[in-house]
Amino acid sequence: MIGVFDSGLGGLTVVKELLTKLEGYKIIYFGDTARTPYGTKSAETVTRYAIENTKFLLKLGAKIVVVACHTASSTAMSVLKQTFSEVPFFEVVTPSMEKALSLTKNKKIGLIGTRTTVASKVYDKLFAKRDPEIKLYSNPAPLLVPLIEEGWLKKPETRKIVKKYLIPLKMRGIDTLILGCTHYPIIKKLIQEKAGKRIKLVDPSEEVALSVVKYIKENPEFKPNLQLNGLEIFVSDLTPYFGKIAEMFLGRKVELKKVALEEIINA
């Protein structure tokens, strides 16, 4: 059983990738919609939320936990691995960094993400360790998440804002761009259009899903079970609007189950 959590519903892009790449595995998703966004919270608060979310997923039977949130991935992973040392964790930052390294030719890489993800410098630190010659240029893109969640995918305002966020990075001559938020794959075509064909995009949802698939294949104890195949989605707050967003992210009808925030906190 695979547990996935995010600050809201953006992590469902990771779930969608897992569903297309795996068969016979139960996936449990928790979207912390009552406390979203994480991108404006302190690292200490995000870490506390991440611990609570992990406990909840483990309580439901998860054997693998995917942190489908760039903010939590960039601030909470070391604490999560120390707190739950027996649990295989997967986060969206490292596989995205690895993919970017494999794609870049001129060693100039761009990053867009939440303010917290960019400010954490997590990508800067990883690139510095792997290849000190890499030049990473980052630009916070705080307006993209609310625009995506409003369904403004093709609005001229969204197109203009995407273009505005990308201009400083394009001026640096980047040839690779990391989509540093799991919401962004929803508008990947638009981002590619505004970035230009010369710039290659790194989709964190796809990369972390590939990491999970690779791990499962290399660890036979995680055997598929078609009887457990399926998806359950839990949220800490529920409105009819959230259902529409979830269906947009997954491209299919879904049922959201509300769980009391107290249950998450006390898991």
Q: Is 47 in the same domain as 8?
A: yes
Residues 60 and 3 sit within 8 Å (Cβ to Cβ): yes
The pTM assigned to this predicted structure is: 0.87
Condensed to tens digits (0 to 9), the pLDDT of residues 1-43 reads 899 999 888 899 999 999 999 888 899 999 999 998 887 788 8
Q: Read off the DSSP letter of residue 85.
A: T
260 in the same domain as 224 = yes
Same-domain status, 109 and 188: yes
181 is catalytic: yes
CA 40 to CA 46: how far, in whole Å?
Answer: 9
Same domain? For 33 and 76 the reply is yes
- CATH code of residue 180: 3.40.50.1860
Give the pLDDT of residue 258. 95
User: Domain count of the chain?
Assistant: 2
pLDDT tens-place string over residues 131-189: 999 999 999 999 998 898 888 888 999 999 999 999 999 999 999 999 998 889 999 99
| Two structure tokens written together for 264 | 């998450």
Token pair 């998440």 is at which residue? 145
DSSP structural state of residue 263: H
Report the chain's mean pLDDT, rounded to a whole number.
Answer: 92
Q: How many helices (H) and strands (E) does the chain have?
A: 13, 10
Identity of the amino acid at 147: L
Same domain (yes/no): 120, 162: yes
Range of the domain at 51: 2-91+206-265
Domain termination site, one of 164, 188, 203: 203
Q: What does the angle CA 88 – CA 92 – CA 97 come to, to the nearest 5 degrees? A: 115
Q: Is the peptide bond before 220 cis (omega within 30 degrees of 0)?
A: no
Q: Which of 65, 67, 69, 195 is catalytic?
A: 69
Domain end position, chosen among 203, 222, 255: 203
Position 226 pLDDT exceeds 70: no
Task: Kindly state whether residues 210 and 86 are assigned to the same domain.
Answer: yes
Judge if 86 and 210 occupy the same domain: yes
Of the residues 203, 225, 251, which one is the last residue of a structural domain?
A: 203
Catalytic residue, chosen from 181, 199, 208, 235, is 181
pLDDT tens digits along 118-132:
888 989 999 999 999
* pLDDT of the residue at 227: 61
Active site residue 97: no
pLDDT of residue 75: 87
